[in-house]
Structure 1
Amino acid sequence: MELIEQIAEVLREAKKEMHVDAIAEAIVEKYPHTRAPLYELSKKVSSLLAKDIAKKKTKSDFVKPKNSKGAPRRGMYRIKIKRVTPEIVPPPPIVNVLYTGKAGEFAVMSELLFFGFNTSFMTVDDGIDIVATKDNKYFHIQVKTANISESNNQYKFTINQRSYDSKDASSTFYIFVLRSASGPSFVNNYIILPNSDISRLIESGIITQGNKLSIRIEKDTTGKYLLNSKEDVKYALNRFDKIR
């Protein structure tokens, strides 16, 4: 890191004006590998800041504070506080759920390919969306996709009970696509649950049986991914390697 960058870092962390001697002391403390004697470093800091302001003028990141009479204060400098323009988060597009569902399936297929699975869509959707194969093993994948709800920070999914019952097998996996805004773009995260986990959650009462299995996933302030407000399924976050 160049000396000018070290100076900027020190002033930025201090959040106040500093004398060149204090800047030099802070640099030595922050960067112990600095070998120059303190008095020499102080002179270098003073010279470097003066040259930067003289050369760049108003475009310099540094400023010499002035006293009550309007004259520059000797040896004193501060760094300009740059205004950060807030990122504009685009609203989620309003599209038919069929488009959202199919987009989620393509996203999952892409991730599976990255993990070395050969994949294929089912011609008829009877509860299985994708068949994936790897190391001579076949897996049945059901994909559910949801955009985050701005009102309660949740993702909501349903699984048809009859479809679940007919595909109750160890080779079946449920992948929940969690789509949300991150800065100016959208990102997908995936909760991958084997059929055995869904069965366990039903038996424990966390998922209630009916015509449809209702599943809500919420990321709380501690980073947990709570399924139906009861079980943290973060262990399944983006774990495509668990499909085996």
Structure 2
Amino acid sequence: MDIKEAVSISFKALGKKEAHVNDIAEHIVQHIAEFQGASVEDMKKKVNSFLAANVKSKTPVYAKVINPKTKRSRKGLYKIKPEPKGTQVIRTEPDRKKKPNPGGDKQVQLPLVFSNTSCDKIFCGKGGEFAVVSELLFRGYNASIMSADEGVDITASKGDKFFFIQVKTSFFKENKLSVFIKPNNFINSSTANIFYVIVFRYSCDGHMTNRFLILQNGDINRMQHGGYISTSDAGMTIKVKQDNRGLFIYNRDKQEDATYYLDNFDLIR
């Protein structure tokens, strides 16, 4: 993970319209595994340097916060730049059906760009499970894939705690994806640590890589009751979309920022 993604995750996790460089740096060092143990002061310099450069770039994601009284920018304080009207999201693959429109809609580079590639359902699903097991092993969990599929794909343990994980693997199409999860008696009746991991692949510098949305059973229940996840007798559907602001779990006119859950394996604890 680079500083760009770390800033994006921390900025959203803070849950504020505006965030100070100091707060972002402290959150990165405290909550993002790749940067834990780093110097807070060094991280402040990196965050400040990145944000200052981003604001001056051709396609800024962030903007300085202006004091309405003095009309000057507040030192170290930034906000996410509002999406301009007429913005068109850049797709990872060219839309051959759409003719170019010179001088038309302005294009903005996504902070996260995903591939529309697909694969055979059986191989894709099993590949996602092994990808999650691999990430857990690297993080010190004793993880393994269940021999029989009864709603739980992976069991993992760390210290004296045990975790049960269901994995769904998907790909973005038109900047959206959805996964369907059937009802499961074990999950519905269990008070154990249940997690859902949505795995998706995307192209980075010509190489395919994996990303993960980690949702705890409590997060799922809250989103269901809040109307962010659609539920029926047949099961539940989790929909995810992306734009130049980041990732969102959505259902009809409701949406919730999902950036906090992206690659956040620290939630499994």
Matched letter for residue 120 of structure 2: N
Aligned to 2:161: 137
Identity %: 37
Q: Which has the higher contact order (CA 8 A, sep 6+)?
A: 2
Aligned to 2:256: 231
Alpha-carbon shift at residue 175 of structure 1 (Å): 0.6
Change (3 A) 1:156 1:163: farther
Aligned to 2:126: 102
Change (3 A) 1:130 1:165: closer
Alignment of 1:138-217 (within 5 A): 138-149=162-173, 152-162=174-184, 166=188, 168-210=190-232, 211-217=234-240
3-state SS of 2:177 partner: strand
Matched letter for residue 128 of structure 1: V
Q: What runs of 5+ residues in structure 2 fail to find an aligned partner?
A: 1-113
Match among 113, 117, 120 for residue 137 of structure 2: 113
Greater C-alpha radius of gyration: 1
TM-score, normalising length from structure 1?
Answer: 0.58
Alignment of 1:19-38 (within 5 A): none
Alpha-carbon shift at residue 185 of structure 1 (Å): 1.5
Alpha-carbon shift at residue 111 of structure 1 (Å): 0.3
Moved over 6 A (4+): none
Aligned to 2:68: none
Tell me how many residue pairs correspond in the alignment. Answer: 153
Higher helix share: 1
Using the alignment, how far apart are the partners of 2:185 and 2:119 within structure 1? Answer: 25
Q: Is the 8 A contact 1:173 1:243 kept in 2?
A: yes
Using the alignment, how far apart are the partners of 1:161 and 1:148 within structure 2? Answer: 24
Using the alignment, how far apart are the partners of 1:90 and 1:223 within structure 2? Answer: 15
Q: RMSD over aligned Cα, in angstroms?
A: 2.2
TM-score, normalising length from structure 2?
Answer: 0.53
CA offsets 1:1-41 (integer angstroms, 9 cap, x no match)? xxxxxxxxxxxxxxxxxxxxxxxxxxxxxxxxxxxxxxxxx
Q: Is the 8 A contact 1:219 1:226 kept in 2?
A: no
Using the alignment, how far apart are the partners of 1:125 and 1:167 within structure 2? Answer: 17
Alpha-carbon shift at residue 106 of structure 1 (Å): 0.4
